[in-house]
Structure 1
Amino acid sequence: MVAEVNPVIRFVFRFIFLPLGVALVVLFAAITWIAEGVGGRLFDRGVSTAEPTPQAVVTNRLERQQWEAPPATAGDSSQILFGDLHVHTTYSGDAFIFSLPLFQGEGVHPPADACDFARFCSGLDFWSINDHAESLTTDQWSETREAIRECNAVADPENPDLVAFLGWEWTQSAPPGNPEAGVHYGHKNVILRDTADASVPRRPIGAGRAGLFAQPLPPAIWALARAGMASLDLGNLQPYLDFNRFARVARAMESCPKGVAVRDLPDDCLEGAETPAELFRKLDDWGYPSLVIPHGTSWGIHAPPTARLKDQLTTANHDPKRQRLFEVYSGHGSSEVYREWFDGEADAQGNLRCASPRGGYLPCCWQAGEIIRDRCTADTLPAVCDERVERVRQQVLDAGGPPYAHVSGTRPDDWLGCGQLQDGFMPAFNYRPNMSAQYGLALRAEDGSTYRYGMIASSDNHTARPGPGYKETARKAFSDAYGFRADWYEALNNPGPPSPEANPEPRILSGVAMSLERGSSFYYTSGLVAVHADARNREAIWNALESRNVYGTSGERILL
């Protein structure tokens, strides 16, 4: 005889637990569907225009670029050509993210878009593609190679209207608070002379352990983050599904085994080099002509306060055969000048404390204290107020990252110009003077010699727009001044009410949103690299780059 189930239990199971279980299953399925990009599209290289720039236009451009620029010596046949050696498409993971609606993005821009923009909009003489190697899939690298060849194919190789170079970006960072990251080496563009499959690496080489290979979050949290990106755009899911499918494919790639010659590695693995020394060894193993160009060195978005060029300008980590150029200016600002100022200084006991403002520089740890000081009321004892101020300053200094997460109730303008170079030309955000060009040029190598760089500029544009500095317009499209859409910014940047004390625990999401918003004030359109070339073709441009017959501009076609 079957015992009858208690009616209360049956009711609870039927009308509470069962619906709750079904709802959880549906929720899990929905999160998985969005996070894995089911129904998302993978994008090919696009179709570039099959016609070159009319020869009359090219001739007119050349005449303008030579106007009042007579040869330096009799018989000098060199001509000035302008280009951009730092261009990203939405094959770069960060560019893809910034193309999404939550960042007010305008959608995907494949490699073919970059070719057309360089040819018909900015009217460049040459450019290179430099998507981040750390997330480039096998198919994307194949599509990139083909896109560059197609871009070149429409032109006369002996007198092309446009020369497109193949390349990628090696993107390494050692952010503060991550002891496993090791030494900060920064970002470097690899430019290849040739484009034929038989003359270029079969895989781009990313930055390995300290770069974008390592997932910053556990898989479950990362999946929730990917699904959560679409939470305010449920009526417009397709762009998010597209990105998440790309992320799934990139995530599925296996890292190449260590200690294996580059030609013996499988074509479809994700190849990494943890240090510049390893990158140079791999390039030597391939044996193809290439240049490696440091860039954005003083940009504090990725460079920690303790970063120094001295740490990488060693015999092992500097290859003077390849590392002959230095991108001193881009749409991410200038890394030119050195200033002797610091965020921290030692007190009488040798302890590191927040430095006071000097030389026009305002440390963000100091400004954090000033914000807290302004919140002391008439009833607050001076000693108590001073203790709160010193505590938040030390907390911000010790954390080493963005200060905004440590002080509640702030907006970007509360931080004034803290962390920023005030007397330099269009400086990079959160300026790191020990990563500047002047700092590097003042160093001595281990054998006592100085470092020699040809100074160039480029764009670092992430919307497939080489050389957008020709016109100061369309700030979001022509520069990387991305930022959260207003509803997303308000959702993430919840600084809470203004507290008279430092946050007991940093508000990470609020700090990220504030950092992006404040950093967007220091993005510019573009720089250009100029070369003195003996002819208007690939070989002549390459020879000029390799011999350092170059200079950089902030976007204007200045004739030198």
Structure 2
Amino acid sequence: MNFKAWMLAGVALVALSGFISVGRCATIFQDDVESGTNGWMVQAQGSTTSLLWHIMERDARSPSHSWWCGVESSGTYEDGTNVVDGTLSSPDIVLGSTQAVFFFSERYETESCVDDVQVWLSTNQGASWQALAQNRWGRSAGWTRHVVELGDYTNHTIRLRFRFSANSYMNRYGGWFVDDIEVAEKTDEDQDGLFDFEEGWYGSNSWETDTDLDSVPDGLEVYVAGTDPDDPASCLQWSAMGWATNGVAGLVWQGSPSKLYWLEASPHITGVWSAVSGVVTADVMNPNGMTNLTPSESLFYRVATTDRVALATMGFGCDANGRSALYTNAFVVWGDLHSHTIYSDDAEKRQTNYVVPSIPSAALSNTIGLLDFVSITDHAESNIPGFYTMEKWTNMIAQIMAFQNTHPEIVVFPGFEYTKTWFSMPPLWLIPDGNGHKNIILYDFEHLPVRGYGQDAFSSPTQLWAYLDSSNAAGHYLCIPHHPAKGSEPAEEGETHDPYISMGTDWATNYLRSDILDLVEIYSRHGGSEMEDAEEPVHNFRAPGAVNTALDRWLLADHNPAYKMGIIGSTDTHGGNPGDVREISTNVQSWLGPYTGGLAALLVANRTRESFWYALKSKNCYGTSGGRIAIEFTAKLGDALAPMGGTLYHATDLSSNGVGLVNLHIRAVGESVTNPIARIQFYRNSVCILNATNSLWGQTVHIDHIDRLPHHFAYYRAKIWEAASTLNSSCQYERAWSSPIWVEKQ
């Protein structure tokens, strides 16, 4: 049983501040990349032919050379091949009976969540490899120094490997730089339980047992949650671990009344740490905190701690199967709120198209017939012959009403699309006008406007909203922006597009209304608008229009509630076949990319129009990339528990180094047993705070995470990935994006 109280931050590798001097450690292997390849081997993996690893002088940690996986001519890892999968492997390194550590410096820049950097180890001369650390992606904080424990590999001959893996899309990033590679034996000159690299790691003295003279050795302090070897007032001691007669382990430590504690576990000491207990407290009458658990010999354990404040939260609000108390009687329904029929001017030339009631039975059975709710959102512009007219509006309403009467099991919401069509020529095109593309979703057939109108009638969304507010639709409609981060449209075959026509959304406050802008579409067959560096971006991606940009605006000083938006996905099909996410060649628009579009999911208590509408308005919903991933995402703060779209309120002052605790819980169910969950990510605001992966996860996964909230306001959201299964060449993982949960100071 490996009970340890490592004060790591839950990261895969331990980042060290500055370059570490390990002169008092016995060096086993060292390479500063200044004297040639030194036995390192560069290889291409799988069917790739990329040999991008090479020594260069573009950037280095010390003094002038480093290994780089990249292309000199472009300064990126775009090499014109389908994928990049290259390895840099060390020569044999012989470890003795003394435990060793592995140091290296790195700097990387990759496409987030898709292209990753990996560190591997082999004990059989490269016949097989095992991961030493969690995969990483995105941008590192410049050059960082890392240390990896090699205690499990004493008396082995090992090889180390740096593997860079990227798909064929969005490879115009800086790549991976590696420098100053070293393997050294652990030594402990001062016999305090810390090895001699403690100076660079913890700031304590590797030659002095008790730096702060508090009668507790530096090593014991570091391995006890919340202590500091340089602070004599910080002294928290371990007590002996006790075992109950029923075989349940009890981990006991000397606590403090001002602290909160919880237990975390990880399959590897440098792996992802997840909370395996609720928060426990220590008080004056009983200064010992205890957490009971059924131990696992395959896990490492540590105690995490923070200051005790009024935001103390207990538990995650779910049962042993991961079902949240908020969702006991809820179930998921699926829909598509963005689809077109032949009444849209651009539909017939784009896809084989049907008027909704005329959909063939085969199509009905495998697309729209699988939906629980749907909206037809034909383009409402009418200034050009053949575009939308009053006659088309009347016919469309009559036909979807007939469809609703024939298929009462599917809730049909009337709607239309307000589409930007005007050319904006220089220099005025530089000024965002906020129009973008927006769908108007109407509650029912009893609350319709005279007709839907586009930008030809109303030059701004605010004018359109004023018209709707003066009509029978007042108080009974939603306005949903879609592909908000998109720039200009790519040209279709044989056509050109004016580069000055932006299809994105301006999130300025004058184009917002919290009573109708409850939702935003994050994904469709145009691609994704999640955030910069996310996979499958829309064409000509513009970060100011991204979904995370809009959500982050709620964090500004006025905390405008109009930026509290839920998330959905849609198809944007132009084939009169809502919900069509089949991965077949005829179901993509090639100039947009290999995307079949997404779906919207609601958590409801019953199958009624009222229940569906309430879920949309309350943001108890999420979007997917087309896969039917069922999720339940909740957050708990104190005694309050909130679902997706909810807000947790508090009255605690966090401005004086206070920290609040938020318990996050996710339950995810893959589409089938052959579509297991592969990755779960939690975001606080735009920062990923948990990136958990496990190749052994099955169809159903539920995990918890405790976040230490440092500010009064925040929002949390979850992103779930199924195992690779799609035919999409740019991202083979079906994904689900939860609506946020907000934390707000009263």
Shorter-chain TM range is: 0.3 to 0.5
- Which structure has the larger Rg over C-alpha atoms? 2
Higher strand residue share: 2
Q: TM-score, normalised by structure 2?
A: 0.36
Higher helix residue share: 1
Q: TM-score, normalised by structure 1?
A: 0.48
